[in-house]
């Protein structure tokens, strides 16, 4: 039986963001944008959705005089990602 895929993660950009953050302790906005190739506007919207769901933490800070947005995955986000990968496996096994 196919398991339902978490709709929040089953989107190209949001899944890419969570996949990046799962492997690091933190990453800034510029790094995520470079890795995903997304536009700044679209990335901001998707980060906001993930933050509202409690999957990531977003910290607005400064590096020198430049504003800097740092993202980290939360425990809720890790659990959701693990469940998503488990659900994906039910599709692949069929």
- Cα separation, 56 vs 48, whole angstroms: 9
Among 1, 4, 8, 11, binds another protein (CB under 8 A): 11
What is the DSSP secondary-structure string of 72-86? EE-HHHHHHHHHHHH
Alpha-carbon distance of 77 to 63, in angstroms, equals: 26
Q: Which of 31, 74, 78, 83 binds another protein (CB under 8 A)?
A: 31
Using CB under 8 A, pick the residue from 36, 51, 78, 83 that binds another protein: 36
Task: Closer to another protein by CB, 54 or 67: give it.
Answer: 67
Pairing of strands 56-63, 66-73: antiparallel
Residues of this chain that interact with another protein (CB under 8 A) are 5, 10-16, 19-20, 22-38, 42, 45-46, 63-64, 66, 85, 88, 91-92
């Amino acid at each position: 039986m196919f398991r339902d895929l978490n709709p929040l993660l089953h989107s190209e950009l949001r899944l890419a963001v969570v996949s990046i953050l799962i492997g690091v302790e933190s990453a800034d906005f510029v790094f995520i944008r470079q890795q995903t190739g997304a536009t700044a506007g679209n990335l901001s919207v998707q980060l906001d959705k993930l933050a509202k769901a409690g999957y990531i933490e977003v910290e607005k800070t400064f590096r020198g005089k430049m504003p800097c947005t740092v993202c980290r995955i939360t425990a809720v986000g890790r659990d959701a990602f693990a469940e998503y990968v488990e659900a994906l496996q039910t599709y692949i096994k069929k």
